[in-house]
């Protein structure tokens, strides 16, 4: 076993590297054509940086101990690192800032899941711009990326963070994360066994089944318990 890579790691052989480079070059051409500039952030970050936004859970981060810095983590995605760099190193720059990245990331898999720990990720961050025009820019850039690498027949599933938070707001804080994970993992049995009142359990299962044609889904969402801001969106 000493000659094998550790579980969750793999070697990229020459053909793998050639394919990876081909994809990276075409994505980079698209990013640059949209006036995005590359940023490179550290592989290691402070754990509190990686989990600050609440989107990353500590147990998904591969953690290491540093005698001076304390608990560090291998980045499981790039957004937190870029956000840190933006507020600490780029605070005086003009906005919007268009940044792209192409790097490896690391994720701790659950004990019962067999899979990779290291992945490769490319993407963009549009900082200091908001609204429909910013959303449209990123979606059009995505379409150009898919065309550049020859992907056909694709569909994009869009999420809305404010809407999701509003739909989850009726659940107690202590159990809201478990509800979110159950919905994301399509775990009907898990949701049904959460310690919730009958009304909240019904709401959780309603969210689980909330899919279909956009018009029908939006009608159902509009009848749900949304805050005024989310209803306007």
Non-local CB neighbours of 80 within 8 Å, separated by 6+ positions: 45, 49, 50, 51, 52, 53, 55, 56
| Domain match, 115 and 176 both | no
What SS3 state is found at 101?
A: strand
From 127, 148, 169, give the residue that closes a domain.
Answer: 148
| Domain match, 83 and 141 both | yes
φ/ψ of residue 22, rounded to 5: -60, -45
Position 14 confidence tier, pLDDT thresholds 50, 70, 90: very high
Question: Averaging pLDDT over each range in 8-12, 51-55, 109-113, 137-141, which range is the top one?
Answer: 137-141
60: closest CA among 144, 181, 142? 181
Distance CA 100, CA 125 (A): 6
pLDDT of 233 strictly over 60 = no
Size of the chain in residues:
233
What is the model's pLDDT at position 217? 79
From 118, 148, 178, give the residue that closes a domain.
Answer: 148
In a domain, 154, yes or no: no
111-149 pLDDT, tens digit each = 555 678 999 999 999 999 988 899 999 999 999 999 999
pTM, two decimal places:
0.76
How many domains does one find in the chain? 2
Position 232 confidence tier, pLDDT thresholds 50, 70, 90: low
b/e 126-162 (16+ beta carbons within 10 angstroms → b)? bbeeeeeeeeebeeebeebbbebeeeeeeeeeeeeee
Contact 201, 192 (CB under 8 A): yes
| Domain match, 119 and 88 both | yes
173-229 pLDDT, tens digit each = 888 989 988 888 889 998 988 999 989 998 899 888 887 787 887 787 777 665 555
In a domain, 9, yes or no: no
| Domain match, 21 and 130 both | yes
Work out the average pLDDT over 11-26. Answer: 97
Range of the domain at 119: 14-148
In a domain, 132, yes or no: yes
| Domain match, 73 and 44 both | yes
Question: What are residue 180's DSSP bridge partners?
Answer: none
In a domain, 155, yes or no: no
Position 54 confidence tier, pLDDT thresholds 50, 70, 90: confident
| Domain match, 25 and 140 both | yes
Angle at CA 112, nearest 5°, toward 13 and 196?
135
């Amino acid at each position: 076993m000493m000659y094998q890579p550790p579980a969750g790691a793999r070697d990229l052989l020459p053909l793998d590297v050639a394919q990876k480079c081909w994809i990276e070059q075409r994505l980079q051409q698209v990013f640059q054509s949209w006036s995005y500039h590359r940023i490179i952030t550290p592989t290691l970050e402070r754990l509190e940086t990686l989990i600050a936004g609440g989107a990353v859970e500590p147990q998904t981060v591969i953690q290491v101990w540093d005698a001076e810095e304390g608990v560090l983590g291998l980045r499981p995605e790039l957004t937190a690192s870029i956000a840190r760099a933006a507020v600490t190193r780029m605070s005086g720059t003009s906005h919007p800032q268009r940044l792209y990245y192409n790097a490896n990331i690391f994720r701790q898999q659950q004990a019962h899941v067999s899979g990779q720990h290291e992945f490769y990720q490319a993407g963009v961050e549009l900082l200091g711009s908001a609204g429909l025009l910013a959303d449209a820019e990123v979606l059009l850039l995505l379409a150009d990326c898919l065309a550049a690498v020859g992907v056909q027949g694709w569909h994009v599933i869009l999420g809305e963070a404010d809407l999701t938070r509003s739909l989850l707001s009726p659940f107690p804080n202590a159990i809201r994360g478990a509800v979110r994970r159950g919905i994301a993992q399509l775990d009907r049995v898990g949701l049904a066994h959460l310690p919730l009142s009958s009304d909240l359990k019904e709401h959780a299962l309603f969210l689980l089944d909330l899919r279909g044609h956009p018009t029908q889904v939006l009608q159902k969402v509009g009848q749900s318990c949304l805050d005024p801001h989310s209803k306007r969106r």
